[in-house]
Chains A and B, each alone.
Chain A
């Protein structure tokens, strides 16, 4: 069963703007990961944040994790048209098994 919920389901912005996606989950986790998927393709790992971490950066990506609220956010700064894709959060609970959120479809208009 899906334990992750993401909002918004779809987000359309202009190039140069920031994009924020949120993810909520229900159970305790070991870590939370964000992935990107271009249409009809496999997933690309973006960033992993451990349960004892609160914030992590990687290039134009910033991820936060609030375990008390069981939520995470992904911020993409200075977006580009090439950032257009679906973004999924995934929680890892045990045995490396991942439970994916519903995903956010991001469209960055040039």
Chain B
């Protein structure tokens, strides 16, 4: 399998501020990571695919200027929620694909609350 960590696990911020969430692949090099958003009692929605060394691919309806993704190394992808507003409050989860299989390994998630 693969071990994925996220930091921070929980963040509360004021409206208008920017928040950076880190996703790390701890035990192998991940060329591709995925970012999901999950609202309370709902399913996960894929936001974007993060590719090491290149631009992220965003899903339809996801604002790339709002959700900045950087995948500068094989073990770290970051998601920055810029000028956050209360409607951005959600659970953000990253994942990576394991070696040699199609299984995705998920981070523990980051709970963002925008006041």
Contacts and interface: CB of A to CB of B under 8 A. Distances in A.
B102 A41 contact: no
B97 A96 contact: yes
B43 A101 contact: yes
B32 interface: yes
Given A45-B104, A96-B102, A40 B43 contact: no
**Candidate in B1, B44, B106 with the most chain A CB atoms within 10 angstroms:** B44
Interface residues of B, number: 25
A30 B106 CA distance: 20
**Candidate in B1, B4, B101, B106 with the most chain A CB atoms within 10 angstroms:** B106
Interface in B10-50: 32, 34, 42-46, 49
Interface residues on A, range: 20 to 34
Contacts of B42: 102
Contacts of A40: 91, 109, 111
Contacts of A99: 46
Interface string B36-77: 000000111110010000000000000000000000000000
Contact of B108 (A42, A92, A97, A103): A42
Nearest to A47: B103
B44 A97 contact: no
Contacts of B93: 42-43
Contacts of A41: 108-109
A25 interface: no
A43 B91 contact: no
Contacts of A45: 1, 103-106
A43 B103 contact: no
Contacts of B91: 40
Interface of A: 2, 4, 30-31, 33, 35, 40-45, 48, 88, 90, 92, 95-103
